[in-house]
Amino acid sequence: MFPNSTSSADIKAALAFTIRHGSNPAKMAIVKRVSNLTKTSRRKVQEVLDLHTDEDPAVGLWFFEVRARGAHLYRLHPAGFALTNDPAEQAT
């Protein structure tokens, strides 16, 4: 599905897809899954995830909520939905 690439754009697209469609929105599960999808190091994936995380939708593509035992559960901002290439979801 995703090319074997370490570009930030490919990692961002894989992160948005995984946050949106993944069964486990916890940070480390997302990092592991995207690392496997893109054949990129977990450290690089986590750097891109952290770089584009912000509560403000004008700044970040996604945000997280802290849940039980300090788990960071991620959700997409509208700009993050745009990376998943589904125009129907961009309007929400």
User: Residue 69 to residues 14, 26, 55, 66, 72: CA-CA distances in angstroms?
Assistant: 26, 11, 21, 8, 9
Residue 91 has pLDDT above 50, yes or no: no
For the ranges 8-17, 30-39, 43-52, 73-82, which has the lowest average pLDDT? 73-82
Task: Report which of 84, 70, 89, 56 is spatially closest to residue 26, judged by C-alpha positions.
Answer: 70
Both structure tokens of 6: 């370490």
Counting residues of the chain whose pLDDT is more than 70, the rounded percentage is 84
Task: Tell the residue number behind the tokens 């939708």, with chain if given.
Answer: 57
Residue 88 has pLDDT above 90, yes or no: no
Mean pLDDT, rounded, for 82-89: 56
H or E stretch at 92: none
Q: Could you tell me if 41 and 8 are in contact, meaning their C-beta atoms sit under 8 angstroms apart? A: no
For the ranges 6-15, 30-39, 54-63, 83-92, which has the lowest average pLDDT? 83-92
User: pLDDT value at position 3?
Assistant: 55
For the chain, domains (ranges, CATH) are 8-83 (1.10.10)
- C-alpha span between 51 and 4 (Å, rounded): 21
Mean pLDDT, rounded, for 30-53: 95
